[in-house]
Amino acid sequence: MAIRNPEIKYKELFINNEFVKAESGRTFPVFNPTTGDAICEVSEAGPEDVNKAVAAARKAFSNTAPWRTMDASERARLILKLSDLMERDLCYLASLDTLDNGKPFTESLCDLEYSIKTLRYYAGWCDKIQGSTIPCDVSLADGEFMCLTRREPLGVVGQIIPWNYPVMMLAWKWGPALATGCTIVLKSAELTPISSLYVGSLVKEAGFPPGVINIIPGMGPVAGHAIAHHQDIDKVAFTGSTAVGRKIMGAASESNLKRVTMELGGKSPLVVCSDCGDLDEAAELCHTAMFGNHGQNCCAGSRTFVHESIYDEFVKRAVKLAEERPVGDPFDEKTLLGPLVSQTQMERVLGYIEKGKSEGAKLECGGARLGSEGYFVSPTVFSNVTDDMTIAKEEFSSMDEVIKRSNNTEYGLASGIITTNINKAIMYAQAVQAGSVWVNCYDVCLPQTPFGGYKQSGHGRELGKEGLDEYLETKTITIKVQRKMS
């Protein structure tokens, strides 16, 4: 059951298993996007706090520290314990996310359940990370050498997560890092820090050694900058905008050439073919692909291509669905669309709407702020959009055309196609330049399936077995075998 006014129990930085104030004493306000009112003040991490967190993580990663010397199955037990505690406090955590982010409580619950599944999935990997033996070339080694590999944890990792999925992005980042034995300095988003801090208290309750996980809310240009440039951080994992991703890559090259994985922006195409089957179902799928999580989703189906033979009928259905989508109090179980996360985000969305109108797109419905309290924008549908517009939805006439237009973007995070023709689906899936392709569904992400982008949507993968590789080093060990035995 939702808790409309959950108590905010933790507002300070979580370093070395303790909640501490920022060295500067600075705090920043966290706002409720439903009302625009301040929820609380949270400690703001600065460079000194990043140094403290990194030092704690480095100590926890030392060769003789409990985290490095414990059996892999014990790491799994700790991750499973954390998962159990999150499940115990499911409604409270979901209520924190709804209060802080504005997403409907039912969506927050789904996010938390998915986060728990992700951590449990990676707990299962802890004692299954293996090296291999490699046959040596007899002509060179004459049977005198044995060669093997070890997969070892990368080290101290900095993780910078966005505000759109406050706990889910935490789980995506923590799962593979903990499974491989790394230690963590996490910067939670300044817009939505309160649920991650509560999870920090569960980390301590679960029994993780001090320093393994550190959580430092703060501003990107300060705390994020310090993480990206830190000489004693071995890797940065970032989810956010492409513009910030470029800065992090530059910081990695300027500092210690730390490894970087990034899941960045997207402008994902969703193609509706003339043989889509039930047009009502197709319109509903596209509607959910765009409006899920208020449209604040990196892989949202934000470019809908509809075959010219069904275009007009599809637009009618899309408009009807948008007009009927319940907008309002995110704690009301009937609400499907809450407020946007902040005034800045609301103004950005309204700015895109104005661009669409000024560039000649037809506004079918919505397009305005709702009310004067909170950050609500009415569900909006444009039609008659050409590919050169800032927003892009349009009809198409052939598969070759829609594949070309789907790929006509600097991004390549995700894509989808709705068709009853399996050959058409396979042809599109093979040709489109995107990290995920969904056929007759959209945004179906599972803990065991890798997720990431092509082109300027980032590099590296999260989730699945591939997610582990981003937190591992491969060490080759070659041993000369003594042939003569005494």
Q: Which residues are catalytic?
A: 263
Q: From start to end of 32-182, where are the E strands?
A: 38-43, 133-134, 145-153, 156-160
Cβ atoms of 44 and 224 within 8 Å: the answer is no
Q: Is the dihedral angle over the CA atoms 19, 23, 26, 31 positive or is it negative?
A: negative
Distance, first Cα to last Cα, the chain: 73
The residues that bridge with 40 in the sheet, in sequence order, are 30
Residue carrying structure tokens 């939805």: 393
| 13-15 β-sheet, strand order | 18-20, 13-15, 213-215, 183-187, 156-160, 235-239, 259-263, 458-459
Cβ atoms of 261 and 460 within 8 Å: the answer is yes
Q: How far apart are CA 244 and CA 221, in angstroms?
A: 10
Tokens read off for 368: 């305005």
For residue 271, which phi and psi values (nearest 5 degrees)?
A: -100, 130
The residues that bridge with 183 in the sheet, in sequence order, are 156
CA atoms within 13 A on the CB side of 267: 18
Q: Please give the full DSSP string across 252-313, using - where no structure is assigned.
A: HHHTT--EEEEE-----EEEE-TT-S-HHHHHHHHHHHHHGGGG--TT---EEEEETTTHHH
